[in-house]
């Protein structure tokens, strides 16, 4: 399941993934992303993983890829918050092949991740 995190600055969107994540979960994500891009002209995005990437269905992975491709020129900052070293390392490496900046943060640095995505910190 993907739930919106509401307690973040207005220049970003944030979501929390837990349990099994399906294609239908992205129905909550796309409108929020589109509204932010329309309002600000860029995409500042945070995803907190409280589940393993293995719990994403194939449909969810396809929707995630579509989200990335559809907004490829709008990505500004994206953070993945996870306790997994592998997820954080992959996220950091992703920044080398995608427009925008991508960073992985451990869960105890959630507030720092919000500040970074919202451009409060460099």
Convert 24-84 into a string of H (helix), E (strand) and C (coil).
HHHHHHHHHHHHHHHHHCCEEEEEEECCCHHHECHHHHHHHHHHHHHCCCCEEEEEEECCC
Among 51-60, 78-87, 90-99, name the one with the lowest average pLDDT: 90-99
Average pLDDT, stretch 95-99? Answer: 80
CB under 8 Å, gap of 24 or more: what pairs does 102-105 form? 102/75, 102/77, 102/78, 103/77, 103/78, 103/79, 104/79, 104/80, 105/79, 105/80, 105/81
Kindly tell me if the per-residue pLDDT of 73 is higher than 90: no
Instruction: Go through the chain and tell me how many residues it has.
Output: 122
Beta strand pairing call for 75-81 and 43-49: parallel
Give domain limits for the chain.
Answer: 2-117
pLDDT band (50, 70, 90) for residue 72? confident
Distances (CA, A) of 40 to 10, 36, 101: 9, 6, 17
Q: Region 70-85: what's the mean pLDDT? A: 90
CB 22 within 8 A of CB 57: yes
Three-class SS state of 117: helix
């Amino acid at each position: 399941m993907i739930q919106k995190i509401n307690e973040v600055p207005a220049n970003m969107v944030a979501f929390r993934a837990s349990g099994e994540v399906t294609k239908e979960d992205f129905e909550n994500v796309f409108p929020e992303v589109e509204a932010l891009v329309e309002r600000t002209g860029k995409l500042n995005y945070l995803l907190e993983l409280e589940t393993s990437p293995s719990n994403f269905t194939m449909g969810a992975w396809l929707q995630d890829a579509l989200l990335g491709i559809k907004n490829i020129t709008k990505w500004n900052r994206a953070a993945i918050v996870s306790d997994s070293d592998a997820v954080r390392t992959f996220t950091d490496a992703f920044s080398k092949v995608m427009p925008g900046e991508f960073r992985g943060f451990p869960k105890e640095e959630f507030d720092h991740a919000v500040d970074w995505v919202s451009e409060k910190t460099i």
